[in-house]
Amino acid sequence: MEEHEFTESREFPGPFVRVRGRLSREWQVQWNPSLRTYKGPPDKPVPGSGNNRTAVSQTQFAVDFLDYQGKVLESLPTVPHFLAKDQEWATFVARLPYHSATQSMRLRFGEREISVLPVPTDRPFFSLLHPGEDSFIDGRGVLALHWCGHDDEHPMTFFVRYSHDGRDWLRPGVNLRTNDFYLDLREMPGGARCAVQVLATNGYRTSYVQTRHFEVPRKPPEVFLGETDGPVLFVQGFSRENGPITGEQIAWLDRDGNAIRRGGTLDVRSLPPGVHRLSVMVQDAGAVQTTELIGIYDAPSGRRLPSSPGL
């Protein structure tokens, strides 16, 4: 294990760069800080191939990565979107393969150059002050993250990422210009090997620090009910660890807790005649269950009844 592995920043290994900016109707450009990422464009180009350049026509907007001579290293079409007719600024996004030789980014329309943005040649450097390598992290509480930048020449923008399994990453903190962030682990998916990353970009290049692994309790699944007046009832479950819960992982229960139907919908009129006290149970992939009372219903009319003692 390298010394200061959990406190000193290192280069983020994402193979792509997400470029974002705004374009006015007068073709003025405002660039947002770019960020290295694992997520590429829809067609998943191979980094360094330069194959995207052939897709740029003379009537398209495009983002280019240029080297110190102004040579195009990568290029990708982008479409600025005005969300309303009276909106002054449109947003544009592109994800291009990362090139260490990039020294500027360019937005153009066909052969017309609209804006060129020089980018730093060095990655940002910063230190994570808290939590330290030996700090206790309470997975049932709020994690206070605090860091310190070491580059005064190029302003840094920070992002906070969280993963409960090392594969899926959430981004609870974005576009941060401060040196701290409070992450409420009570709202995060749980797991035995959770980790938090703090990322810093100086406009193009990205560095990161990752905390040591720690445990966060798994969260019970949530129940999302549709209209409960009847006769047709709808429900969906959601697990913070596994996502939506549908199909056979949903059970409709009678007053004794017995499953009478499975799936996301129940037509009360299909039940035997009489009064039914109904609940619903959702179960996540880890077999953790949540049960919620829905109400009392009359069959075959299927309508919900006022609650009565003993039912």
pLDDT in tens, 167-182: 999 999 999 999 999 9
- Comparing 28-32, 41-45, 88-92, 109-113, the range with the smallest average pLDDT is 41-45
pLDDT over 70 (residue 273): yes
What's the rounded mean pLDDT across residues 228-249? 92
pLDDT over 50 (residue 1): no
Residue 55's pLDDT is 45
Closest C-alpha among 95, 42, 87, 52 to residue 73: 52
pLDDT over 70 (residue 56): no
- Residues 8 and 2 sit within 8 Å (Cβ to Cβ): no
Query: What is the pLDDT confidence band of residue 133, given thresholds at 50, 70 and 90?
Result: confident
- Using DSSP's 3-state secondary structure scheme, residue 148 falls into strand
| CATH number 2.60.40.10 is the correct assignment for the domain at 126-216 | yes
- Is residue 217 reached through a cis peptide bond, with omega within 30 degrees of 0 on the bond before it? no
Residue 85's pLDDT is 78
- Residues 77 and 51 sit within 8 Å (Cβ to Cβ): no
Contacts (Cβ under 8 Å, ≥6 apart) of 124: 9, 149, 151, 154, 156, 200, 201, 202, 205, 206, 207
Q: Sign of the CA dihedral 40, 41, 46, 50? A: negative
pLDDT in tens, 146-201: 999 987 788 999 999 999 999 999 999 999 999 999 999 999 999 999 999 999 99
pTM score: 0.81
Delimit the domains of the chain by residue range.
12-118, 126-216, 222-305
The fold of 222-305 is: Immunoglobulin-like (2.60.40)
